[in-house]
Amino acid sequence: MRLDRVLTRRLAPAAAILLIGLALTACSDPQSTIEPKSDATQTVQNVYVIVFWLAAVVFVAVLGATLVLSIWFRERPGRVASQFHGNTRLEIVWTLIPVVILVAIFIPTATAIGDLEPDADNLPPGTVRVEAIGHQWWFEFRYPDLGIVTANEMHIPVDRPTYVALLSEDVIHSFWIPQLVGKVDMVPGRENAVIFTPTEASDEAYLGQCVEFCGTSHANMRFRVFVDDQADFDAWVEAQLAPPVAAETLSELAQEGAALFQNPILALGVTPCVGCHTVKGTPAVGLIGPDLTHVASRSTLFAGIRDGFQGSDDPERVQRELERWLSDPDDIKPGVTVRQNGMPAWGEHLTREQIAAIAAYLRELK
């Protein structure tokens, strides 16, 4: 075979695999568990490292011995294997080695579990307390000390401990922010908790998601965590506590939307917007769906599955996405109209103009 053919046939696939491998290692994964950005994930990472190197030593020793011995004792003409039964000294050695390895893994693991355990009655000074409540399929975040209620986006200050009480309104969910804290279940009727101190403020949000199968749209139940420096966090708190946008400053279309949103009998037999959602300072005081007082200040739509209001350079797309959601939310988050307390498909009850007006109102709830 000519050399150039050898090169294309043999080396090209190998080079492609190598390049893909390099590309995969080069990109930093925001859901990586081995790039810790908090004290809690660093504690877990320290255990990973110990286990990794112990496993590497076992791997090399076992495979190396297998290779060396199978070559050393390979079949040769005239050679007969020596016949014996048992070797007490060897048996003791290969029983003790795994015991030592397991103890070497157990001690740091048990210590780490103890270190990660939050103590609700004895929180470190300066701790930010958050309640995360799982719903099918979105996350509610309450800050009981600050009086803030929001959804799907959590803001926390860097270098201060955050204590998150984990609750559920319906089925079992699970809370996980790979770079900040390990996964813990959110169980109805029970309060679990996590505590962690983020060590790196970041403009990019940390990604979190539900990690317990909780129904059709489990995969669409995501959230973002913004680790702010103290000044940014204070500004966010102030903005969340501010009254919602004044009715008279809304655009004409948004004012029509507000009237529809606040109408207590929007369609016969269907719970109106105000029955489920809160917009502070208006007749909307529902507690079933997400609090929408400052919904347009969030960076994503529909529990982290679409880019949203903040930073969007395409308000028309946001308008279209919201209209699509209001008309038929199942199209974006399957199962959402049929579950208990589900979001109605307003496309069946309202005109396109009415839906466009409500979407415009939501876009102005900064």
- For ligand CUA, the binding residues (CB under 6 A) are 134, 137, 173, 210, 212-214, 218, 221
Query: How far is residue 139's CA from residue 223's CA, in Å, rounded to a whole number?
Result: 7
For ligand CUA, which is the closer residue by CB, 37 or 173?
173
Q: Which helix (H) or strand (E) holds 135?
A: strand 128-135
For ligand CUA, which is the closer residue by CB, 54 or 288?
288
For ligand CUA, which is the closer residue by CB, 53 or 213?
213
For ligand CUA, which is the closer residue by CB, 302 or 309?
302
- For residue 18, the minimal CB distance to ligand CUA (Å) is 37
SS3 222: strand
Q: What is the CA radius of gyration of the chain?
A: 28
- For residue 346, the minimal CB distance to ligand CUA (Å) is 24
Which candidate, 295, 304, 293, places its Cα nearest to that of 222?
Answer: 304
Query: How far is residue 137's CA from residue 308's CA, in Å, rounded to a whole number?
Result: 17
For ligand CUA, which is the closer residue by CB, 37 or 222?
222
For ligand CUA, which is the closer residue by CB, 141 or 361?
141
- For residue 245, the minimal CB distance to ligand CUA (Å) is 31
HSE, side-chain direction, 13 A CA sphere, residue 340: 4
- For residue 335, the minimal CB distance to ligand CUA (Å) is 11
Query: How far is residue 170's CA from residue 218's CA, in Å, rounded to a whole number?
Result: 13
**Which sign does the torsion angle of CA 278, 281, 283, 285 carry?**
positive
The partner residues of 3 in beta bridges, in order of sequence, read none
- For residue 130, the minimal CB distance to ligand CUA (Å) is 17
- For residue 172, the minimal CB distance to ligand CUA (Å) is 8
Tokens describing residue 279: 């917009």
State the angle between helix axes of 315-327 and 352-363 in degrees (0 to 180), rounded to the nearest 10. 130
- For residue 218, the minimal CB distance to ligand CUA (Å) is 4
The partner residues of 167 in beta bridges, in order of sequence, read 133
- For residue 39, the minimal CB distance to ligand CUA (Å) is 26
Query: How far is residue 255's CA from residue 261's CA, in Å, rounded to a whole number?
Result: 10
For ligand CUA, which is the closer residue by CB, 122 or 340?
340
**Could you tell me the CA-to-CA distances from 316 to 167, 186, 319 in Å, in that order?**
36, 36, 5
For ligand CUA, which is the closer residue by CB, 138 or 196?
138
Beta strands in 302-366, from DSSP E residues, in sequence order: 306-307
